[in-house]
């Protein structure tokens, strides 16, 4: 397994002769898969050319960081000529290189664990770190799951031949009108994005839905990258006890209020909602943690707060916020498909000047075209009250009179708009009431029935 130089040459030969094959292995291969310095350099040059969008053999040589005595241009041209005669599939050629690299990584991981044990490191923390590294190695080792049209058709037939069913399970959000917008609720394998302006209450809504699902269906994985677990929990304790978060922070509560908070705290212990508030988490780390949490808890739904707060390993991509958000969105869709559970992600607006009563659209959320392509459902939470309070016009003007009327009309009121839905009907909205002290939403029967419109 160690002497794989002929395989390394064949892999490079095929990629130099047929550049389009690069994309079949680009997300898995690194220079570390090659042992010889010259082949590491050729791969690096080839990889750089493709990522910069221009490819030819001389450019490969220019971008190859090789300082040896060999004639690199001649080697590259020779490999390209050889590659035109090879017919083996690139996936088959690369497997021995992946297997060797994975064995090396596993050995390094266990050696690291052994050294840590000798240093008297806590065993549980050590085991978790080793498991996470092994899962990362395993994830990189996975090849694409390719099936033929015939195999897929066989599966379609077997599904059609089953007795009649009502289809896959949809997870209710606990708010009937929102379920109606989604065509029944949250569905396995789908990515649902909830977008809103700042301070509209999207985290509160997501947490409320997450708690309902945890109580009704089972474990929920809530990845909070903007608030701590304690901050989120205080909101749910407020909702369950009826005691405002402000009162809890202030202290000096009565015995009756403390009893309500105590009972809410005990109820929380029975709810399988797991909060991870680790900061600066990359989307690559999230993949690993989500899979580990599914194995540990049996996750039914994953929440991610938020798209904007997620990071990526690539430094250049990480520094480009719009591009990073687009990449995160596409990766969350892949995660939903891989885990076969619903994923709900919260999205921020791209800052623009907008009138308080002008509703956001999907095009104004961080995520760009990937938002439209990858998200199965896009819900827009519209709650103008906090925006109106921040933008009070000068007193005594006509604008101030209109502002007062708008503020009265939207007091404690919110809407969820279906900007894009896969199974429901787009363009509709759910009318909600928002209770600020307990940060909870409920259906607004008055506006729904036309009594207050």
pLDDT level of residue 355 (50, 70, 90 thresholds) = confident
Mean per-residue pLDDT, 395-417: 94
* Cα angle value 293/295/298 (rounded, 5°): 80
pLDDT level of residue 397 (50, 70, 90 thresholds) = very high
Residue 57 has pLDDT above 50, yes or no: yes
Mean per-residue pLDDT, 40-58: 89
Query: Is-contact 319 361, C-beta < 8 A?
Result: no
Percent of the chain whose predicted confidence (pLDDT) is above 90:
53
Mean per-residue pLDDT, 99-112: 80
Three-class SS state of 170: strand
Residue 146 has pLDDT above 60, yes or no: no
Q: Is the dihedral of CA 181, 185, 190, 191 positive or negative?
A: positive
pTM recorded for the entire structure:
0.67
| Owner of token pair 């994005």 | 193
For residue 241 the two structure tokens come to: 């006890």
For residue 311 the two structure tokens come to: 């990071």
Count Cβ atoms below 10 Å from residue 254 Cβ, excluding itself: 10
pLDDT in the model for residue 206: 97
Bond from prior residue into 306 cis (ω within 30 degrees of 0): yes
Name, in order, each residue with C-beta under 8 angstroms of 31's C-beta and a sequence gap of 6 or more: 40, 43, 44, 47
Residue 68 has pLDDT above 50, yes or no: yes
| Owner of token pair 């739904």 | 301
pLDDT in the model for residue 404: 95
Query: Is-contact 418 181, C-beta < 8 A?
Result: yes
Count Cβ atoms below 10 Å from residue 372 Cβ, excluding itself: 15
pLDDT in the model for residue 453: 36
CA–CA separation, 329 and 365 (whole Å)? 11
**Residue-by-residue DSSP string for 110-155:** HHHHHHHHHTT--HHHHHHHHHHHHHHHHHHHPPP----HHHHHHH
Read off the DSSP letter of residue 365: B
For residue 35 the two structure tokens come to: 């042992």
pLDDT level of residue 159 (50, 70, 90 thresholds) = low
Read off the DSSP letter of residue 362: G
At 229-263, the pLDDT tens digits run 888 999 889 999 999 988 998 888 899 999 999 99
CA–CA separation, 356 and 6 (whole Å)? 66
Residue 222 has pLDDT above 60, yes or no: yes
pLDDT level of residue 207 (50, 70, 90 thresholds) = very high
pLDDT in the model for residue 175: 96
Tell me the C-alpha to C-alpha distance, in Å, between residue 296 and each of 70, 218, 221, 303: 52, 13, 11, 17
CA–CA separation, 344 and 377 (whole Å)? 9
CA–CA separation, 145 and 155 (whole Å)? 15
At 265-310, the pLDDT tens digits run 999 999 999 999 888 899 988 988 898 888 888 999 999 999 999 9
Q: Which has more pLDDT, 115 or 361?
A: 361
pLDDT in the model for residue 52: 83
Q: Which of 49-58, 108-117, 226-235 has the lowest mean pLDDT?
A: 108-117
Best CA proximity match to 382, nearest among 208, 212, 199, 224? 199
CA–CA separation, 330 and 343 (whole Å)? 12
């Amino acid at each position: 397994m160690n002497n794989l130089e002929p395989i390394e040459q064949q892999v490079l030969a095929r990629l130099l002769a047929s550049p389009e094959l690069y994309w079949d292995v680009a997300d898995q291969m690194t220079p570390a898969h090659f042992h010889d310095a010259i082949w590491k350099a050729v791969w690096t040059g080839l990889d750089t050319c493709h990522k910069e969008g221009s490819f030819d053999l001389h450019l490969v040589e220019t971008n190859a960081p090789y300082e040896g005595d060999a004639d690199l241009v001649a080697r590259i041209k020779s490999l390209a000529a050889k590659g035109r005669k090879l017919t083996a599939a690139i996936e088959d050629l690369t497997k021995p290189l992946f297997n060797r690299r994975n064995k090396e990584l596993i050995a390094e991981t266990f050696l690291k664990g052994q050294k840590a044990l000798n240093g008297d490191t806590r065993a549980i923390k050590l085991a978790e770190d080793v498991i996470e590294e092994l899962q990362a190695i395993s994830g990189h080792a996975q090849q694409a799951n390719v099936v033929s049209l015939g195999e897929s058709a066989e599966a379609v037939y077997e599904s059609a031949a089953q007795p009649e069913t009502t289809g896959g399970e949809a997870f209710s959000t606990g708010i009937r009108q929102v379920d109606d917008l989604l065509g029944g609720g949250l569905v396995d394998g789908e990515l649902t994005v909830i977008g809103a302006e700042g301070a509209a209450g999207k985290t509160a809504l997501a947490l409320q839905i997450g708690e309902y699902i945890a109580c009704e269906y089972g474990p929920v994985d809530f990845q909070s990258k903007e608030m701590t677990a304690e901050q989120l929990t205080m909101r749910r304790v407020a909702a369950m006890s009826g005691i405002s978060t402000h009162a809890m922070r202030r202290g000096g509560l009565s015995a009756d209020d403390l009893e309500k908070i105590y009972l809410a705290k005990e109820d929380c212990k029975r709810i399988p909602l797991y909060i991870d508030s680790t900061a600066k988490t990359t989307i690559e780390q999230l993949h690993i943690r989500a899979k580990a949490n599914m194995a540990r808890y049996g996750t039914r739904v994953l929440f991610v707060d938020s798209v904007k707060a997620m990071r990526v390993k690539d430094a250049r991509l990480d520094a480009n916020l719009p591009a990073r958000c687009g990449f995160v969105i596409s990766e969350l869709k892949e995660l939903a498909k891989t885990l076969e559970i619903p994923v709900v992600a919260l999205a921020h607006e791209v800052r623009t000047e907008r009138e308080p009563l002008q509703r956001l659209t999907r095009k104004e959320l961080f995520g760009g075209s990937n938002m439209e392509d990858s998200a199965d459902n896009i819900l827009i939470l519209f709650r103008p009250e906090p925006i109106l309070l921040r933008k009070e016009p000068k007193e005594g003007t006509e604008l101030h009179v209109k502002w007062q009327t708008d503020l009265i009309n939207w007091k404690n009121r919110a809407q969820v708009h279906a900007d894009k839905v896969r199974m429901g009907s787009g363009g509709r909205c759910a009318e909600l009431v928002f209770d600020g002290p307990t940060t909870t939403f409920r259906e607004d029967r008055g506006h729904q029935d036309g009594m207050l419109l």
